[in-house]
Structure 1
Amino acid sequence: MAYNNKPKPDDRSDNVEKLQSMIHHTIENMEAAEETLRYTDSEEQREQIEAKNQRRRESIESFRAEIKDEANQAKTE
């Protein structure tokens, strides 16, 4: 039996839009976590939230760098 599996073409036309959406949602999650920090007495939970938000900040930096890469890629095409 023959398979006609063909890879989908690389459609990067909406990558910047998707990345911007991811940044927006990540910021919303950070803000919600910061709100939770105001109401917790647990030092362990506080440390976990702060660590997670630090990882989120790093992700946002990566998303922004990727947006720049996408913009540069679009200029060369």
Structure 2
Amino acid sequence: MPYNNKPNPDDRSDNVEKLQNMIENTIQNMEAAEESMSFTDSETQRQQIQEKNQRRQESIESFRSEIKDEANNNQG
């Protein structure tokens, strides 16, 4: 029995929208993490939250870069 597996077509039409949603969700997570810092006395937890938010900020920058790439690809 031969397999007839074909990859799905590359539909990038909603990539910008998805990336924008990911940015919004990441910002919300950062804000929630900042709020949670006020409820802990643990310096270790505060440090972990700050480090995680730094990684989140880097992700946001990457998402924004991808949005620019998508905009450039859609123009040409």
Cα RMSD after superposing both structures: 0.4
The alignment's TM-score, normalised by the length of structure 2, stands at 0.99
Q: Which amino acid aligns with 1:72?
A: N
Runs of 4+ in 1 over 4 A off after TM superposition: none
Gaps of 5+ in 2: none
Residue 26 of structure 2 corresponds to residue 26 of structure 1: yes
How many residues align? The count is 76
The alignment's TM-score, normalised by the length of structure 1, stands at 0.97
Gaps of 5+ in 1: none
Identity %: 74
Cα distance in 2 between the residues matched to 1:32 and 1:60 = 16
Shift of 1:38: 1.1
